[in-house]
Structure 1
């Protein structure tokens, strides 16, 4: 009986040596460029610049997963350009232009007026008034009012935004603005201006400087000079300045001194608690409490 020798194992098909390589993501595109990591062919749309040569989309994405994202000093996202500061500058300027066009309507609708907030429930004035300033035809400071506040925001804002991160800086500014309006609500009658928020930034800059071990005397001089001007120059709302300074300092303490463990939770919880207290003050107390004796 004769036996047949075993058949040799099947050999895998060899690619045609003359075949033109195509992109692994776009088979209809010819390419002679390979990813430096996985060596798959990639077309120009799939190329990503690398330290040496190019890499494909998947390899770049996989490498980025292991890269720790840069963070701000106090846990916020890394800030390369202070966009929140620039946005606040733009909003203030646009609001001022609206005042120039229709002064009476803008001020009557959005300016901080204690009795309207307390008796008529026009709560939006607590925040909108912080983006308004003395109109150029209204006497007093006129154009100087917005120029000084915007200069202070431009000088102080970017540094704090880089230290805190964009979201925390925005929260600091807005809560400080509300704190300034609450100061007017409890102790004054009416006011406009970003000064409450600006004083909040001054207080925050002092807190951050102390936390980082910097010499805070320059900040104290800045605050001191502005406090003196507040009481020397007529027509300035010391109530708004005081409210903003105290509020901004407290928010900065919550952000700067939060422990490493559960930092974000403590920071946002502290800022939320401060905001809740401000809202409670408006809900419980009548406007101009101390001026009218309760």
Structure 2
């Protein structure tokens, strides 16, 4: 028996398919699938009927990852851009605020201030640094990428899963920075979270069988900008980029996987918990080495 065979369409069992209805999650072939705002739906769900195997909870539209379809599918993306902009303006207006928010392992203020950094228990820096920018071109580039990557991902994942992806990707990037950079190296920016969105986008495009070339070109270009040295004052944190990208790929694979009964939410949120615990373990390992 071929255990790798794709399931058959619920209306045409002899036709193997990798596409599932985004509402009831039953497999549907190209002749049965009907385009929706996100993904495809089966004829029964479009008609609002209750065909064989149709579950009552499927009456509410669901995203590709199983979240609720919202009236504004880009709300969290907009809020994240607003938070980044607010922190940027606050850092410009309040002297010294950036030093309190940026990621530093162990920082000594040589003018007589106290020792600061994640190693002293200031764990908030792992997250606040993700929302901090001090140059207009830096925040402009990251927010532009957040807008173009975040919109389609939020529509596919739903608000809660998308927010978890963004925050955990940012934390994953921060953890790798904290682990691999000198303890007094300041790091800031949403690049780790943005690279996490890019990693999840790769998974989404592959899962929905869209043209992979545009996203692959974007990924290669962003990695080239990460690792190829060039003149100027800009210093790119490859640690944040790689940490965020790997986190996004892992979470994307867990969240945008084919549906298998009622276990999908457990796998999705279990993966989020596992990533959070891994971030915590990396932080504890680095802190033990610094103190």
Residue 74 of structure 1: aligned partner: 65
Distance 2:119 2:272 in 1: 27
Of residues 146, 149, 161, the one that matches 1:153 is 146
Residue 16 of structure 1: aligned partner: none
Of residues 208, 211, 222, the one that matches 1:215 is 211
Distance 1:196 1:67 in 2: 35
Question: TM-score, with normalisation over the residues of structure 1?
Answer: 0.70
Distance 1:281 1:224 in 2: 27
Q: CA deviation at 1:228?
A: 1.1
Residue 252 of structure 1: aligned partner: 252
Distance 1:199 1:249 in 2: 9
Q: CA deviation at 1:67?
A: 7.7
Question: Counterpart of 2:270 in 1: which secondary structure?
Answer: helix
Residue 278 of structure 1: aligned partner: 279
Call closer, same or farther: CA 1:254–1:155 in 2, change over 3 Å.
same
Consecutive unaligned residues of structure 2, counting only runs of 5 or more, are 1-55, 107-115
Q: Which entry has the higher C-alpha Rg, 1 or 2? A: 1
Distance 2:176 2:217 in 1: 23
Q: CA deviation at 1:111?
A: 0.7
Residue 85 of structure 1: aligned partner: 77
Residues 118, 125 of structure 2: 8 Å contact kept:
no
Residue 198 of structure 1: aligned partner: 194
Of residues 164, 171, 187, the one that matches 1:178 is 171
Q: Does 1:242 align with 2:239?
A: no
Question: TM-score, with normalisation over the residues of structure 2?
Answer: 0.71
Q: CA deviation at 1:236?
A: 1.1
> What is the CA RMSD across the aligned residues, in angstroms?
2.0
Residue 17 of structure 1: aligned partner: none
Residue 43 of structure 1: aligned partner: none
In the TM superposition, structure 1's runs of 4+ consecutive aligned residues that sit over 3 Å from their partners are none
* Count of residues in correspondence between the two structures: 218
Call closer, same or farther: CA 1:277–1:190 in 2, change over 3 Å.
same
Please list the CA deviations of residues 136-169 of structure 1 after superposition, one character each: whole Å capped at 9, or x if unmatched: xxxxxx2110000010111111100000001000
